[in-house]
Structure 1
Amino acid sequence: MTYTPDAVRHLQLSTVTLPLSTPISDAKVFTGRQRPMTEVVFLVAEITTEQGHSGVGFSYSKRAGGPAQYAHAKEVAEGLIGEDPSDIAKVYDKLLWAGASVGRSGVATQALAAIDVALWDLKAKRAGLPLAKLLGAHRDSVRTYNTSGGFLQASLEEVKDRATASLEAGIGGIKIKVGLPDSAEDLRRVAGVREHIGAGVPLMVDANQQWDRATALRMGRRLEEFDLTWIEEPLDAYDAEGHARLTAALDTPIATGEMLASVAEHVRLIEARSCDIIQPDAPRVGGITQFLRLAALADQRGLDLAPHFAMEIHLHLAAAYPREPWVEHFDWLDPLFEERLETRDGRMLVPSRPGLGITLSEQARAWTTDSAGFGTA
């Protein structure tokens, strides 16, 4: 049996605005740096080939940047038409250089991420395999923790109730937000959640980059008593040296990386030994192709992995990581897809459906604010 070359016939790009039922606040809101989050904007790519194969992918932006991703993707999209969808790395480089005058990170690569993810989804579907299996899975389920119930606009009692609901739903760990101007309130909330869920349940905290170096060290030492699985983003995302000092000074593992927008930015973290757990985000670094490059470097340095957000993508990538990882559970994206990911006994199960295993819902179509087609529909 020989391979018959295929070609991309059509690309549909859409921008979708998902409203959040409640405005969301982390520490960046309480320090005055950002406004509460009320929506998430998605860039969706749907690809069809001459042989009738198809794939869907997405990237996203919170608070700002969604229109920029959509605009950039439209500018370079024609370069995909006629390319063999199997040549994902080649296609990525072609589109990257088509828009390289605005750089090779940030919006420029986040716009390509939706296309890159769709190509991987297509490739796995054509093979009849879940993406994790196509990549070479090390496991059929991944440890999972919930974040969406632990934001700072919620009272401590609400956070406790949501933690209980998450654990009862088969989720294995709980992460809550910290980084308030009042550190005593942070400690009160952590102590309350730890007491509520018990000593045996994994508990993480996330300061969303709002501490300076002195505060991070002081709070890190105060938090040691709670036996945390990790402290996330204690410092500015680009402070590799400060994170390295914390990693060396504290017993609690340090996790960071979600806000970085390229492999090159993560390499600096990795080389500086700035964390114990690296948290790349495939849509932010440019897609699955770039994530796999980064994961290989992280594994070589012995880092644990806990990808940020977008569990529909990251479940497959985490399942293919050699070291036992974590995947972040957010229920925000549920309305966008027909399918649901299953959690059981503290783990998220890799779906048996081919590709990513997701289908856009009618609600996602209804929330589409603009769309553009390229090639022949």
Structure 2
Amino acid sequence: MPDAIRHINLSHVVLPIDNPVSDAKVLTGKQKPLSEMVMLFVEVLTEDGFRGMGFSYSKRAGGPAQFRHLKEIAEVAIGQDPSDIAKIYDTLLWAGASVGRSGVATQAIAALDVALWDLKARRAGLPLAKLLGAHRDSCRVYNTSGGFLQASVDEIKDKSTASLEAGIGAIKIKVGQPDWRLDLKRVAAIREHLGDVPLMVDANQQWDRARAKRMCRELEQFDLVWIEEPLDAWDAVGHAQLSTTFDTPIATGEMLTSVSEHMALVNAGYQGIVQPDAPRIGGITPFLRFATLANHAGLALAPHFAMEIHLHLAAAYPTEPWVEHFEWLSPLFEEQPEIRDGRMWVPDRPGLGFSLTPKMRQLTRESASVGRP
């Protein structure tokens, strides 16, 4: 008899950020500073006693909606064979079809999808990267959390130095301020401080096409690894045009919430770096679908956030990727990724290789249980 999903536990977790951060969306008045992460954790138990853990997240809004949507539809997964992840995914999509196949709907499903992949790898006794078929045991890693716009140049210099001393190999800073001259001054100062250390910048969608062209031209002098989200995330044509105009690569994709939204970039002729986010695109299942298509199109990969998941997915990508380091979620996991020599190393523990802390339980605002414990 095949195994079957017996129990699913959902946890709505609110994790404060000790020092709230601001990117360009805050300075242009579109959003408030980010002061907390809202997480949806899913824990799965099967009849044969196998377990898996997954998560998705939201920033500023949407966390309670993710929790409630999955709470409403999760029952359709009970009794299904946990190995049939794609089938379960489709079942969940149809259960909530009236609210669509992107956005909150698939971000809610993502947490369960990740848990099932974690379970499958744990049952095989393999790290997820090995289950998928790893191309490498480590990935290049860069830090973003120290480069937000509320920080002074001196603060960013100090945080960058600390990151490099901790073994991280590259630094990303935020740009996109209302006064573009300040952006150039900050980038110049950090480039001088870092020397030839790889440096990226992120405009968080705050330029129109004309300003983006001017800024990309000005930024060419700094030998950047990439310029991230210079345009609105859904401007596939604009990003494609920039990617074929400038020597500095263009990166985008983190805000997109379905495979079809990502494929709009490919279909527009985009030749930059893609940044799918497994919790946002809908889970590991759709992430892998897009990754296959992205590789076929010859695109480089740099998944956004969620390093605990993306380390494995990046390790399984055919060409050399980047993984983004954020320490924000560290209080929620007992284990921390190994970082040295500018790279993040795939753990040898089964599954994702991470387990939840008592702190995660303390920060749980609401939980729900489906099936038999």
Length-normalised TM-score, structure 2: 0.99
Once the 2 structures are TM-superposed, how far is the Cα of residue 299 of structure 1 from its aligned partner? Answer: 0.1
Equivalent-residue separation in structure 2 for 1:131 and 1:170 (angstroms) = 23
Equivalent-residue separation in structure 2 for 1:225 and 1:298 (angstroms) = 28
**CA distance 1:33–1:275, change in 2 (3 Å):** farther
Where does 1:308-323 land on structure 2 (aligned, <5 Å)?
A: 308-323=304-319
Other-structure match for 1:213: 209
Other-structure match for 2:242: 246
Aligned residue for 1:181, secondary structure, equals coil
Q: Which one of the candidate residues 152, 156, 160 is aligned to 2:153?
A: 156
Segments of structure 1 that go 5 or more residues without pairing to the other structure are: none
Is 1:376 the counterpart of 2:343 in the alignment?
no
Equivalent-residue separation in structure 2 for 1:269 and 1:244 (angstroms) = 7
Other-structure match for 2:167: 170
Deviating above 6 A after TM superposition, structure 1's stretches of 4 or more consecutive aligned residues are none
Is 1:134 the counterpart of 2:131 in the alignment?
yes
Other-structure match for 1:125: 122
Q: Which one of the candidate residues 56, 73, 77 is aligned to 1:76?
A: 73
Is 1:41 the counterpart of 2:38 in the alignment?
yes
**Number of residues of Structure 1 aligned to a counterpart in Structure 2:** 373
Other-structure match for 1:268: 264
**CA deviation vs aligned residue, 1:165-190 (integer Å, no higher than 9, x gap):** 01011101000000000111100110
Equivalent-residue separation in structure 1 for 2:267 and 2:170 (angstroms) = 29
Q: Which one of the candidate residues 20, 40, 64 is aligned to 1:23?
A: 20
Segments of structure 2 that go 5 or more residues without pairing to the other structure are: none
Aligned residue for 1:150, secondary structure, equals coil
Where does 1:1-377 land on structure 2 (aligned, <5 Å)?
A: 4-199=1-196, 201-377=197-373
Once the 2 structures are TM-superposed, how far is the Cα of residue 275 of structure 1 from its aligned partner? Answer: 4.2
Equivalent-residue separation in structure 1 for 2:87 and 2:334 (angstroms) = 31
Aligned residue for 1:52, secondary structure, equals coil
Give, as a single letter, the amino acid of the residue that structure 2 aligns with 1:28. Answer: K
**1:145–1:174 contact (8 Å) kept in structure 2:** yes
Once the 2 structures are TM-superposed, how far is the Cα of residue 23 of structure 1 from its aligned partner? Answer: 1.1
Aligned residue for 1:38, secondary structure, equals strand
**1:131–1:316 contact (8 Å) kept in structure 2:** yes
Once the 2 structures are TM-superposed, how far is the Cα of residue 271 of structure 1 from its aligned partner? Answer: 1.4
**1:171–1:344 contact (8 Å) kept in structure 2:** yes
Equivalent-residue separation in structure 2 for 1:321 and 1:244 (angstroms) = 22
**1:255–1:275 contact (8 Å) kept in structure 2:** no
Give, as a single letter, the amino acid of the residue that structure 2 aligns with 1:321. Answer: Y
**2:70–2:108 contact (8 Å) kept in structure 1:** yes
**2:11–2:41 contact (8 Å) kept in structure 1:** yes
Equivalent-residue separation in structure 1 for 2:270 and 2:97 (angstroms) = 29
**CA distance 1:258–1:351, change in 2 (3 Å):** same
- % identical aligned pairs: 71
Once the 2 structures are TM-superposed, how far is the Cα of residue 25 of structure 1 from its aligned partner? Answer: 0.3
Equivalent-residue separation in structure 2 for 1:270 and 1:197 (angstroms) = 33
**2:303–2:314 contact (8 Å) kept in structure 1:** yes
Once the 2 structures are TM-superposed, how far is the Cα of residue 244 of structure 1 from its aligned partner? Answer: 1.3
Once the 2 structures are TM-superposed, how far is the Cα of residue 272 of structure 1 from its aligned partner? Answer: 1.0
Report the more deviating stretch, 273-282 or 92-101.
273-282
Equivalent-residue separation in structure 1 for 2:67 and 2:24 (angstroms) = 28
**CA deviation vs aligned residue, 1:194-245 (integer Å, no higher than 9, x gap):** 000102x110000000001111110101001100000000000011111111
Equivalent-residue separation in structure 1 for 2:8 and 2:242 (angstroms) = 45
* Alignment RMSD (CA, Å): 0.6
Aligned residue for 2:244, secondary structure, equals helix
Aligned residue for 2:135, secondary structure, equals coil
Aligned residue for 1:251, secondary structure, equals coil
**2:144–2:172 contact (8 Å) kept in structure 1:** yes
**CA deviation vs aligned residue, 1:14-52 (integer Å, no higher than 9, x gap):** 100000001110000000000001101000000000000
